[in-house]
Amino acid sequence: MKRSKIMEFGVGLFMLAGILGLVFLGLRVSGLGNGVGGDTFTLNANFANIGGLKVRSKVTVAGVQVGQVTGIELDPKWYDARVTMAIDSKLEGQLPRDSTAAILTAGLLGEQYVGLSLGGAPDTLKDGDTIRDTQQALVLEELIQQFVSNMVKN
Amino acid sequence: MSDEHARRRGASRRPPVRQVVALGRGTLDMIDALGRAGLFLMLSCLGIPSREGIRLWLRQMHFVGVMSLAIVLVSGLFIGMVLALQGYTILVDFGAEDALGQMVALSLLRELAPVVSALLFAGRAGSALTAEIGLMKATEQLTSMEMIGVDPLRRVIAPRLWAGFVSLPLLTIGFSVVGIWGGYLVGVEWLGVFEGSYWSNMQGSVGFVADIGNGLVKSLVFAMVVTWIAVFQGYDLIPTSEGISRATTRTVVYSSLAILGLDFVLTAMMFGEIG
């Protein structure tokens, strides 16, 4: 009886360890907890080129994550990319209307994310608004092409 | 002329006939074994577990799961450490050692943890299951159980099957966690990769459903296949000492081949489409 209790305890610990391991993988490894929890509001931005931006990419203000990309689709009107972002609702009514969105890269080869830079206008962005002033992703090939063609011209 | 032709054809036909017969017999035997194995799996897994059944399952969980923990965790630690070391020496040439965490985590979660844990599990637990059940059969314990009205499929086989199904995914999780920690030890503590980029690159690239979830699906499939093969080989062997040794070998060989083959198929299904 005593032995069987120890065994049952061991199996219980084993199952518990497995579940804790899964929680660790979820939170620490896949960064599930990093997404903005709680209430969010939606902002849109059209980019000429999104480069390697993906759904679930970060949205930051001054390098601090404030939201994530929830949708990317082709806008059939202008043939540019329409990026939908979920932003922490604490910032609703705080971001000036002339804020700009840029697609930035973390490090030389890192992931791409959306960086918001605040403007100075008195009226603010609300749920479902679109950020007008955007800066497309830096595509290395285009950069090199420009560099080469400038070299040839000079 | 045509007589001779016919005679020659008749003479040359005889050996192939025998081979075709052998091929047919082999195929029928194989289908027969598959059918028996399928029926066996169905009969053992069905049926409402009693309180006694849960106790039996717990005992098997202890033997199959808890006792395999040490070998799986130690292997996971070393594999994570080796991955970090190898990855670092390659990535540092491109100045991309920040991507080390991503490389370690993705290779562990998608491939190495499910496959290596399943291989270890087949060697550690699968062979033991086969030998145990085989010996029960050879000493006619299974037949005696039937005679006193206890169904050996439910009493002996079912707890072992369920223990295998549950414990291998748990072991795989443990393998990944320890492996990622091992990668952290070597990459961050020893080789000096920046700790923040180790974790943030990992978090940026690992998807919970796409990588962790698919890895777990893989290990669940492996668990079913390995335990099924092990238990069936034990139940179906020729009850002699030679039969037991043959069946134990077959368990390890078939399980390993099935794991590696299925791994390719599952990977092609899960990660095949680029994007």
- DSSP state letters, A23-64: HHIIIIIS-GGGSPPS-EEEEEEEES--TT--TT-EEEETTE
Shortest alpha-carbon distance between residue B172 and chain A (Å)? 9
| Of the partner residues A8, A29, A108, the one whose CB lies closest to the CB of residue B180 | A29
Q: Which residue in B54, B56, B66, B110 has the most chain A C-beta atoms within 10 A of its own C-beta, making it the best mutation to test that interface?
A: B66
Instruction: Sort out which chain A residues have CB atoms less than 8 A from B177's CB and list them.
Output: 21, 24-25
Going by C-alpha positions, the residue among B92, B82, B97, B91 that lies closest to residue B201 is: B97
- Per-residue tokens: A100: 């700009």
Instruction: Sort out which chain A residues have CB atoms less than 8 A from B98's CB and list them.
Output: 107, 109-110
Q: According to the model, what pLDDT value does residue B121 have?
A: 96
**What residue in A sits closest to B64 (Cα-Cα)?**
A11
Q: Which residue in A3, A15, A30 has the most chain B C-beta atoms within 10 A of its own C-beta, making it the best mutation to test that interface?
A: A30
Q: According to the model, what pLDDT value does residue B179 have?
A: 96
Task: From first to last of the 154 residues of chain A, give the pLDDT tens digit.
Answer: 566 788 888 888 898 999 999 988 888 888 776 655 568 888 899 988 888 888 878 888 888 888 888 889 998 888 889 999 988 888 888 888 888 999 888 766 677 889 998 888 888 888 888 888 888 887 778 888 888 988 888 7
Going by C-alpha positions, the residue among B265, B211, B255, B218 that lies closest to residue B121 is: B255
Q: According to the model, what pLDDT value does residue B12 have?
A: 53
Q: According to the model, what pLDDT value does residue A37 have?
A: 59
CA–CA gap between residue B215 and residue B210 (Å, rounded): 8
| Contact at CB, A30 and B177, closer than 8 angstroms | no
Shortest alpha-carbon distance between residue B149 and chain A (Å)? 26
| Of the partner residues B59, B66, B105, the one whose CB lies closest to the CB of residue A14 | B66
Three-class DSSP category at A96 = strand
Q: According to the model, what pLDDT value does residue B275 have?
A: 43
**What residue in B sits closest to A107 (Cα-Cα)?**
B98
| Contact at CB, A25 and B205, closer than 8 angstroms | no
Q: According to the model, what pLDDT value does residue B49 have?
A: 67
pLDDT less than 70: residues of chain B? 1-15, 47-49, 273-275
A50-77 as b/e, with b when 16 or more CB fall inside 10 Å? beebeeebbbbbeeeebbbbbeeeeeee
Q: According to the model, what pLDDT value does residue B201 have?
A: 81
Reported pTM: 0.75
Instruction: Sort out which chain A residues have CB atoms less than 8 A from B69's CB and list them.
Output: 14
ipTM, two decimals, is 0.74
Three-class DSSP category at B194 = coil
